[in-house]
Structure 1
Amino acid sequence: MAEILPADKAMDRALALLGAGEVVAIPTETVYGLAGDAMNGEAVARIFEAKGRPRFNPLIAHVCDMAMAERIGVFDPLSRRLAEKFWPGPLTLVLPLREGAGIHPLTTAGLATIALRMPRGFGGELIARLGRPLAAPSANASGRISPTSAAAVAASLGGRIKLVVDGGAAPVGVESTIVKAEEGGLRLLRPGGIAAEEIEAAAGVKLLRGAAGVQAAVQAPGMLASHYAPQAAMRLHVGEVRPGEALLAFGPNRVPGWQQAVMMRNLSQSGDLREAAANLFAFLHELDSSGAATIAAEPVPMEGLGEAINDRLSRAAAPRDNGGGDA
């Protein structure tokens, strides 16, 4: 099983493993990531191997500062403005990959673009100490619920990796928002930890929704239809709870039949969307462990971070196949 070390005691061990081409589960402000050297093909392959991840799904490369980001991606003025506003933080920018950047093609899934993010806390310090960008999708088996605690990582990947760095509960609780500047505006590829409205205010333009073009399905992580999935089936926007179901509730008012749920977790009793986002994956884990065959989810409004929450729920409820994706 993986060694679990608190963040204040894990730096040297994490650096040694990463320097040897191994992978390490690390805390970030969004969810826990499974990190490997983005310039080392063997390390990136170990990420795919540990997760059972489809190789056509690209990874986010994490950087420690703008100097490192500039060496990897080509910034347009709008992307630079967003980086200055939201980095470090839960925003990923999809940019043209700079020639000679040294990023291994497995990281980009062979695309001419690179997804870049600058994390806060332990992850940023680790990258600065290593001096190399880290590819770091969510630290869970591919297609399953993203982990927001070290315990969740250990339960999913503990037998496949050597180290989990415990930084406590992830404060944001959903993956980063992914955007891409393109001719005609700014496109939202994945809603996440920064609300679309905040990005629009900073950018001064309305966000285009969804991917466009022939490579729409692979422009960024987290875009596969079936994703973030529990073992249980899911029903969304329910008007009642059926016998034997677990209930993912939201807000102060319950749908009929809630008393017969085998387990209930409320994303936010007060209806706070930021609290709901932080609780989402942890509560899905708990409800999935209840043994219920189905998780019923009450409606969550679409404004603000509700867009990201509904995106994750719809992917978790989508028809499953063997190639699920992840963050």
Structure 2
Amino acid sequence: MIGHETAMDDALALLRAGDVVAIPTETVYGLAGDATHGIAVAKIFEAKGRPRFNPLIAHVASLEMAEAIALFDPLSRKLAESFWPGPITLVLPLRDGSNIHPLVTAGLDTIALRMPQGFGGQLIHALGRPLAAPSANSSGRISATTAQAVASDLGSRIRLIVDGGAAPVGVESTIIKVEGGTITMLRPGGVAAADIEEVAGENLRRSDDGAKIQAPGMLASHYAPHARMRLNALQVGEGEALLEFGPISIQGADRAIAALNLSRTGDLREAAANLFSYMAKLDQTGASTIAVAPVPQTGLGEAINDRLARAAAPRDTQLPQS
């Protein structure tokens, strides 16, 4: 691992050579490779063990770079101008002649684009090309929000992990698609639906559970620990670990073999930032089941509950359930 303050030259050298680098972003850590370089993109899939029908987000450093890749409708442009750089991804028609490698889009005629904050954005600007960068973890497992979590999972498979501290948002980006004047949220994430609706001036449509894969993070089983997840638990069973939320403990909390509280004050931003790291810590206790107390669906609670539901889904599920 190298601190982000001194990692730029090493990261650029690896990316220019067609290799991959784990980098910090405001959402979670990403496994980044040149989105125009087929071997680099293939290395991302290989390192993660990711199915190749699952598309990747291409990360850009400017709206100009994004416009060279995709076609923007007026509403998508408004959302980009309002929320970029930040934790929102836009799914847009791929521009003819774009140099994005086909592995990134998984054969779709659309591309998912995001502009990250901090080191990620600086790295893309210095490279001058977009980066494909899914979460830096084994496919389907808990996303990494620290460099140490990346190292424990992928450390033997990649040559450089850039340490930028704990990811402040803690869940992946919200994914939005504008089509026919309708705004659909394909995945809830680091920007709450209400904030997007305020800028857009209209309500968001939610993606159907059985919808085809149009963007990353739509697999039914994802973000999963090794332990089974039991959601909306109102009591704790023998031998279970407990993931709590809020100031009031659920029945039998004292029986849990380990317990962590996403936010004792009920702060959903704090809960989102803690989600993946706390899931990983409870998984490391060896508990066969993690009981999860109810989390409100409001604000960032929608993204938290989405990740919890995918973590609790059957592990052999690779396509959205119909």
Note the C-alpha offset of 1:184.
Answer: 4.0
1:166 aligns with 2:163: yes
Aligned equivalents of 1:107 and 1:35: distance in 2? 12
Aligned to 2:54: 57
Aligned to 2:96: 99
Aligned to 2:119: 122
For residue 35 of structure 1, give the secondary structure of its aligned residue in structure 2. strand
1:38-57 matches, cutoff 5 A: 38-57=35-54
1:313 aligns with 2:299: no
Aligned to 1:202: 199
Aligned to 2:65: 68
Note the C-alpha offset of 1:218.
Answer: 1.6
1:274 to 244, 256, 269: 269
RMSD: 1.3
Per the normalisation by structure 2, the TM-score is 0.98
Aligned equivalents of 2:71 and 2:318: distance in 1? 31
1:292 aligns with 2:287: yes
Note the C-alpha offset of 1:284.
Answer: 0.4
1:150 aligns with 2:147: yes
Note the C-alpha offset of 1:212.
Answer: 9.1
Alpha-carbon displacement from aligned partner over 1:233-272 (angstroms, at most 9, x marks no partner): 0100001000110000000001110001111110000000
Note the C-alpha offset of 1:321.
Answer: 1.2
Q: How many residues align?
A: 320
Aligned equivalents of 1:320 and 1:311: distance in 2? 16
For residue 9 of structure 1, give the secondary structure of its aligned residue in structure 2. coil
Aligned equivalents of 1:124 and 1:100: distance in 2? 24
Does structure 2 conserve the Cα–Cα contact (< 8 Å) formed by 1:180 and 1:188? yes
Aligned equivalents of 1:48 and 1:129: distance in 2? 24
Name stretches of at least 5 consecutive residues in structure 2 with no aligned partner: none
2:237 to 215, 234, 242: 242
1:88 to 78, 85, 89: 85
Does structure 2 conserve the Cα–Cα contact (< 8 Å) formed by 1:187 and 1:211? no
Per the normalisation by structure 1, the TM-score is 0.96
1:175 aligns with 2:159: no
Aligned equivalents of 1:87 and 1:55: distance in 2? 28
Does structure 1 conserve the Cα–Cα contact (< 8 Å) formed by 2:221 and 2:317? no
Identity percentage over the alignment? Answer: 69
Q: Which amino acid aligns with 2:245?
A: F
The 3 A distance-change label for structure 1 pair 181 and 322 is closer
For residue 72 of structure 1, give the secondary structure of its aligned residue in structure 2. coil
Aligned equivalents of 1:207 and 1:134: distance in 2? 28
Name stretches of at least 5 consecutive residues in structure 1 with no aligned partner: none
1:262 to 257, 276, 280: 257
Alpha-carbon displacement from aligned partner over 1:43-66 (angstroms, at most 9, x marks no partner): 000000000000000000000001
